[in-house]
Amino acid sequence: MTKFKAKVTQDIPANRLIGLGGINTEGDPEEGWETIYLILSKKGWIPDLVSTSNLEKGSVVEVTIKNNPVWKVEAAENLPAGTLVQCDDDGRIKHYRPEDGSHFGFTIHSVKAGEVVEVVRKYGYNLPQNQVETAAFNAKEFEQKENDDNNQATDNEFPKHTGGGYYELSNGEKVQGKDKAIEAEQALKSGE
pLDDT at 67 over 90: no
- The verdict on residue 19 lying in a domain is yes
pLDDT recorded at residue 184: 87
The dihedral built from the CA positions of residue 56, 59, 62 and 68, taken in this order, carries a sign that is: positive
- The verdict on residue 177 lying in a domain is yes
Mean pLDDT of the chain: 84
Residue-wise pLDDT for 78-123, tens only, equals 999 999 899 999 999 999 888 888 889 999 999 999 999 999 998 7
Burial of 85 (0-12, 13-18, 19+ CB in 10 A): buried
- The verdict on residue 96 lying in a domain is yes
- The verdict on residue 37 lying in a domain is yes
Q: Hey, what long-range contacts does 161-166 have (CB within 8 A, 24 or more apart)?
A: 162/24, 162/27, 162/29, 163/23, 163/24, 163/29, 163/138, 164/22, 164/23, 164/24, 164/25, 164/29, 164/133, 164/134, 164/136, 165/133, 165/136, 166/24, 166/27
> Of residues 170 and 53, which shows the higher confidence score?
53
Q: Are residues 151 and 186 in the same domain?
A: yes
- The verdict on residue 134 lying in a domain is no
pTM exceeds 0.75: no
| Phi, psi for residue 22 in degrees, rounded to 5 | -85, -175
Q: Are residues 8 and 34 in the same domain?
A: yes
> Of residues 158 and 77, which shows the higher confidence score?
77
The boundaries of the domain holding residue 157 are 139-190
If one counts the domains in the chain, the total is 3
pLDDT at 137 over 80: no
